[in-house]
């Protein structure tokens, strides 16, 4: 337990919003894992090659990425998949499902989605999740090792309680915290890039409508729509200031050349 605690303390770093996080995996290893996962997705999923759609998502993603420090060689792929989803992996890999283009009604809403996903990468959230799972599983293993009769009802009840406590008390709340953090950082990213930040509210409303009633927030890795909206509204004044100060106003649409205007 002392060794685990020492590793935990030495492996802490800070997210872009100043929150301390656990990061046990070297960044270069995370990038390799992200690249491998992305390569597997490209082999198993159908890739959309419509040049008009590709120009559109590249226009939006490029406007966002140019304001991101660190990773420079980002790769963006449009997957032919009906689900409304987008994701970003360590090492600068962005995937967009064609179904997302039906929910994100314009360039600003697509920027809200991609800004959120890019925020996960620059906040090192994947490393944090892996590291937390490692510590939680390691902690459970230590507890298990101290119990002799593993067939007893009390042992099984204890392990079940510890497992549920870790899931709902540590992993899920931290995932929701990451989602909220990505909302805030993504809002700033889209505003700084010249996309209208208030469109983020409409985007997440569209997502909530498509998702239906959903599951209770305390059992979800994502905040509820109401919680998410409150977070965005609370951070909107700063985002609007960033938007007004933006030096460009991107013009990205499926039916144009994807140029960016000053």
Q: What are phi and psi of 197, to 5 degrees?
A: -65, -30
- The pLDDT assigned to 260 comes to 45
- The pLDDT assigned to 217 comes to 52
Nearest to 209 by CA among 108, 102, 115, 110: 102
- The pLDDT assigned to 141 comes to 66
- The pLDDT assigned to 228 comes to 86
Helix (H) and strand (E) counts in the chain: 10, 7
Q: What are phi and psi of 206, to 5 degrees?
A: -60, -45
Structural domain boundaries of the chain?
A: 11-256
Instruction: State the catalytic residue, choosing from 81, 117, 128, 151.
Output: 117
Give me the average pLDDT of each 10-residue run along the chain (262 residues).
46 70 78 88 94 96 88 87 89 92 94 94 84 71 62 65 61 75 94 96 88 55 80 96 94 58 42
Q: How many CB atoms lie within 10 A of CB 216?
A: 8
> Which element (helix H / strand E) includes 257?
none
- The pLDDT assigned to 76 comes to 95
* pTM of the predicted structure, to 2 decimals: 0.79
Known active-site residue 105:
no
Please, are residues 216 and 229 in contact by the beta-carbon 8 Å criterion? no
- The pLDDT assigned to 143 comes to 59
- The pLDDT assigned to 45 comes to 92
């Amino acid at each position: 337990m002392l060794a685990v605690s020492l590793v935990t303390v030495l492996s802490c770093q800070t997210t872009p919003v100043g929150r301390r996080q656990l990061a046990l995996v070297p960044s270069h290893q995370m990038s390799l894992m992200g690249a491998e996962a992305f390569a597997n997705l490209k082999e198993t999923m159908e890739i959309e090659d419509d040049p008009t759609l590709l120009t559109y998502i590249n226009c939006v993603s490029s406007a966002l990425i140019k304001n991101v420090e660190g990773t420079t060689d980002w790769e963006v792929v449009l997957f032919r998949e009906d689900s409304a989803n987008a994701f970003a992996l360590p090492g600068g890999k962005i995937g967009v499902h064609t179904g997302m283009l039906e929910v994100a009604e314009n360039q600003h809403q697509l920027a809200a989605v991609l800004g959120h996903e890019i925020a996960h990468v620059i906040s090192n959230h994947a490393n944090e999740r892996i590291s937390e799972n490692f510590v939680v599983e390691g902690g459970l293993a230590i507890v298990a090792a101290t119990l002799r009769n593993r067939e007893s009802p009390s042992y099984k009840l204890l392990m079940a309680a510890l497992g549920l406590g870790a899931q709902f008390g540590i992993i899920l709340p931290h995932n929701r915290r990451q989602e909220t953090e990505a909302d805030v950082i993504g809002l700033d990213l889209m505003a700084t890039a010249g996309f209208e930040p208030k469109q983020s509210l409409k985007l997440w409303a569209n997502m909530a409508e498509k998702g239906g009633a959903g599951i209770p927030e305390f059992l979800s890795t994502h905040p509820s729509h109401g919680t998410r909206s409150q977070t965005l509204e609370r951070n909107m004044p700063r985002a609007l200031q960033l938007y007004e100060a933006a030096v460009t106003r991107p013009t990205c649409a499926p039916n144009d050349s994807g140029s960016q205007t000053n």
